[in-house]
């Protein structure tokens, strides 16, 4: 038994293939893994649970219970901003599960166990990019499985990946996180998404399917960041028409202002809102990172809000798990 460190980057969630009950499959997440910002935590075996990070402790408790181990001493070295659209909850949950397991010499299957931690119910993007990174599209769920009430944790399976592609090495992603109220989560998110599903226009899903088949996937295959950006912008805007009544527009304020500013900048392609926001992203290239970063700062200024701007590479690998030097520890007495 030893102390281990788990490191994983954020993810962007571009949107869903379908939110209408009129089609045979529901959801179908589209997104990709980033190298930055990161969730990093360490874990060592223990006879009880030791974790002073409020958001992580519940996941550690579930991991210890589900894996049948005695306990774990877990330290969160860095975490993504919560409810910002970067996948913070799934990253923290799966990192805790993987770290607790590996500290005890186990290899937990994060895909199988994610539902027990309350993750991976609608979109499989978070789990898939934790496993292996890349650009991914998942299969969603058969529509007949939709229920008015949220299933209990553990009563679903994570959607399988139907498409995974390597993100070209030269692509970069501008990430802008305005310092405003965080995106929806918990019961509020559940109520919103179910309201959207019950009233979603099925024609929007047909248009998204056309963009994915004729523009998005060819752009990935050709390695064109410009065409990829334009395609995911279309997917994001179409998704936003489903959410407009719930979030106050195609994009939630002030994300719409930031998206519009980035769309007009020649260094940025495919500006959009990740998940419920407020995170906004744009596709750029390694040769344009300085200009893209400046565009992100200018967009925040134009919107009149503070925030963080960073440039991230795509990540084509899953979470890193490494022993901590000198990290073998005795069990607590």
Confidence (pLDDT) at 218: 98
| Band of pLDDT at residue 332, cut at 50, 70 and 90 | very low
Instruction: Please give the C-alpha separations between residue 135 and each of 17, 60, 270, in angstroms, as whole numbers.
Output: 14, 28, 15
Q: Are 172 and 292 in contact (CB under 8 A)?
A: yes
Q: What is the pLDDT of residues 23-36, one digit of tens each?
A: 999 999 999 999 99
| Half-sphere exposure for 324 (CA within 13 Å, toward CB) | 22
74, containing H or E segment:
strand 72-78
Report the C-alpha gap between 82 and 123 in whole angstroms: 18
- Eight-state DSSP code of residue 316: -
Backbone phi and psi for residue 271, each to the nearest 5 degrees, phi listed first: -60, 140
Residue 303 has pLDDT above 90, yes or no: yes
For residues 331 and 204, the model is more confident at 204
- pLDDT mean across residues, the chain: 94
Question: Start-end ranges of CATH 3.30.230.10 in the chain?
Answer: 1-166+319-333
Q: What is the pLDDT of residues 82-123, one digit of tens each?
A: 999 999 999 999 999 999 999 999 999 999 999 999 999 999
Token pair 């805007």 is at which residue?
237
Q: Are 109 and 127 in contact (CB under 8 A)?
A: no
Assign a CATH topology to domain 1-166+319-333: Ribosomal Protein S5; domain 2 (3.30.230)
Give the CATH superfamily of 168-313. GHMP kinase, C-terminal domain (3.30.70.890)
Report the C-alpha gap between 309 and 332 in whole angstroms: 42
| Half-sphere exposure for 237 (CA within 13 Å, toward CB) | 14
- Eight-state DSSP code of residue 34: E
Average pLDDT in the 243-262 region? 93
Give SS3 for 119: coil
For residues 147 and 202, the model is more confident at 202
Report the C-alpha gap between 125 and 163 in whole angstroms: 11
Give SS3 for 160: coil
pTM of the predicted model, to two decimals?
Answer: 0.94
14, containing H or E segment:
strand 4-18
Confidence (pLDDT) at 327: 57
Confidence (pLDDT) at 330: 41
Q: Are 88 and 81 in contact (CB under 8 A)?
A: yes
Q: What is the pLDDT of residues 144-198, one digit of tens each?
A: 999 877 888 988 999 999 999 999 999 999 999 999 987 666 677 778 888 899 9
Instruction: Please give the C-alpha separations between residue 74 and each of 58, 64, 117, 235, 253, in angstroms, as whole numbers.
Output: 12, 11, 17, 39, 36
Question: Start-end ranges of CATH 3.30.70.890 in the chain?
Answer: 168-313
pLDDT over 70, % of the chain = 96
Enter the tokens of residue 221: 């295959």
Report the C-alpha gap between 97 and 67 in whole angstroms: 9
Instruction: Please give the C-alpha separations between residue 46 and each of 6, 69, 70, 203, 269, in angstroms, as whole numbers.
Output: 17, 9, 7, 54, 48
| Band of pLDDT at residue 326, cut at 50, 70 and 90 | low
Confidence (pLDDT) at 91: 98
Confidence (pLDDT) at 331: 42
Q: Lowest mean pLDDT: which of 62-66, 151-155, 230-234?
A: 151-155
| Band of pLDDT at residue 329, cut at 50, 70 and 90 | very low
Confidence (pLDDT) at 194: 85
Token pair 């060819």 is at which residue?
218
| Half-sphere exposure for 82 (CA within 13 Å, toward CB) | 9
């Amino acid at each position: 038994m030893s102390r281990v460190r788990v490191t994983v980057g954020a993810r962007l969630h571009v949107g869903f293939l379908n939110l209408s009950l009129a089609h045979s499959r529901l959801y179908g997440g589209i997104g990709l893994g980033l190298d930055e910002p990161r969730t990093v935590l360490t874990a060592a075996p223990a006879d009880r649970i030791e974790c002073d990070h409020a958001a992580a402790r519940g996941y550690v408790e579930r991991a210890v219970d589900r894996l049948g181990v005695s306990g774990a001493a877990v330290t969160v070295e860095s975490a993504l901003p919560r409810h910002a659209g970067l996948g913070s909850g799934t990253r923290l949950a799966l990192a805790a599960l993987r770290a607790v397991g590996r500290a005890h010499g186990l290899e937990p299957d994060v895909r199988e166990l994610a539902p027990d931690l309350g993750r991976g119910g609608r979109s499989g993007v978070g789990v898939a990019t934790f496993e292996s990174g890349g650009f991914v599209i998942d299969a969603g769920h058969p529509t007949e499985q939709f229920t008015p009430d949220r299933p209990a944790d553990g009563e679903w399976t994570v959607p399988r990946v139907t498409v995974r592609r390597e993100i070209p090495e030269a692509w970069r992603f501008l990430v802008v996180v305005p310092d405003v109220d965080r995106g929806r989560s918990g019961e509020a998110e559940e109520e919103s998404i179910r309201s959207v599903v019950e009233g979603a226009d099925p024609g929007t899903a047909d248009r998204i399917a056309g963009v994915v088949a004729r523009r998005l996937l060819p752009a990935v295959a050709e390695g064109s960041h410009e065409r990829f950006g334009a395609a995911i912008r279309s997917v994001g805007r179409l998704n936003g028409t489903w959410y407009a009544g719930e979030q106050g527009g195609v994009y939630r304020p002030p994300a719409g202002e930031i998206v519009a500013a980035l769309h007009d900048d020649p260094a940025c392609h495919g500006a959009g809102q990740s998940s419920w926001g407020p995170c906004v992203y744009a596709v750029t290239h390694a040769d344009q990172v300085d200009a893209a970063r400046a565009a992100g700062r200018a967009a925040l200024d134009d919107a009149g809000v503070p925030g963080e701007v960073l440039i991230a590479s795509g990540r084509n690998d899953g979470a890193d798990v490494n022993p901590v030097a000198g990290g073998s520890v005795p069990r607590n007495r």
